[in-house]
Amino acid sequence: MVEYATFLRAIAAILITNSHYVGVYPIDLIASGGLLGDVIFFALSGFVLINIKDTFLNWYKKRIIRIYPSVWIITIAYLVFGFYTFENESVASYFIYPTYYHFIASIVVLYIPYYFIAKNEYFRNRIPVFMLGTFIIQLIIYVFFYDKTYYHIDTVKEPMIRFLFFQSMLIGLYFRVNHERYLNKKNLSNWIFLISSLVIYFITKLAFSRNEDISHFQIINQTILFITLYFVFKCFASIDGQLVKLPKIVKSVAAFISQITLQIYAVQYVIIHKFATIVFPLNWLIITSLIVISAYILYLAGNKSSDYILRFIDGVLVKLNKKEVA
């Protein structure tokens, strides 16, 4: 993986986890940045999945099987220990779709249109057109059908958020396709734009969430976030060379967090809930340590399970092909 992509994935995991630390910090406002982490994460999904060789069914099968075992393992564990119940959830929502985890529900849907754009060279060279088209569709739905009486455009379990997530995947793909154009191209103005857009994003988020009189314009907040994402990638691409030269321990920590991001996301809710009431900062230390340890164990178990399932499916297909030939 490109060095800056590794660091961005680690940052995304930290932002998403931090946003769930409500009740952990003395001031809940510190527990923020989750949606920014989400869009970075989806953008990186688009960034890394570019060299598509397989047919859609083979490619989609591998993507799904790489994701679901970790979800199944941690869900079964939390059900066994009584942390999850079936009072408000079903077997399907825990294990199949849309799942208890909003990321899974979104990515398994968005993989489908992403595949056909990323696989086709003609489409890959016209990514801004697809981003604009996606935004126009979103805007039409927003204007004519979306409930704008209160602020909820960044609610991650609502279908509307998938327009933003898909646009994020496309912007990640765009930066991968145009990799050389941005790599190590330093420009101070990009950092100024990034910092400015971050400040504006958080100010507008607070304004929209606390003032219903302006909620009709809440799509502005999501637009600013998308602009912020663009400059996040542009700025981090420009310092890839410096990131490569960082001490090995720093890069190792970033790489470690980067490889267990999905598992960090899957294990954290129960752990945060169980230990949030302990005095700060002891609660933060306990929660963070348990999340990292649990996520790594789940990562190992999930990868082994994924490999086994893929080998089993491939074996079954080979036997079926032999029977057909015979």
Give the pLDDT confidence of 110-121 residue by residue, as tens digits: 999 999 999 999
The 10s digit of each residue's pLDDT in 283-301 is 999 999 999 999 999 999 9
Question: What distance in Å separates the CA atoms of residue 207 and residue 213, rounded to the nearest whole number?
Answer: 10
Give the model's pLDDT for residue 323: 64
Region 239-247: mean pLDDT is 95
Cα–Cα distance, 281 to 287 (Å, whole number):
10
Domain membership of residue 231 (yes or no) is no
Q: Whole-prediction pTM value?
A: 0.93
The answer to whether residue 225 sits within a structural domain is no
Listed in sequence order, the residues at least 6 apart from 302 whose beta carbon sits closer than 8 Å to its beta carbon are: 69, 70, 73, 262, 263
Rounded distance between C-alpha atoms, residue 69 and residue 266, angstroms: 11
DSSP H helix total and E strand total for the chain: 15, 0
Mean pLDDT of the chain: 91
Tell whether 228 is covered by a domain: no
State which residues form the domain around 56.
3-137+154-186+239-325
Is 142 inside a domain boundary?
no
Assess if residue 216 is contained within a domain.
Answer: no
The domain tally of the chain equals 1
Q: Considering the domain boundaries, does residue 73 fall inside one?
A: yes
Q: What is d(CA 314, CA 51) in angstroms, rounded to the nearest whole number?
A: 21
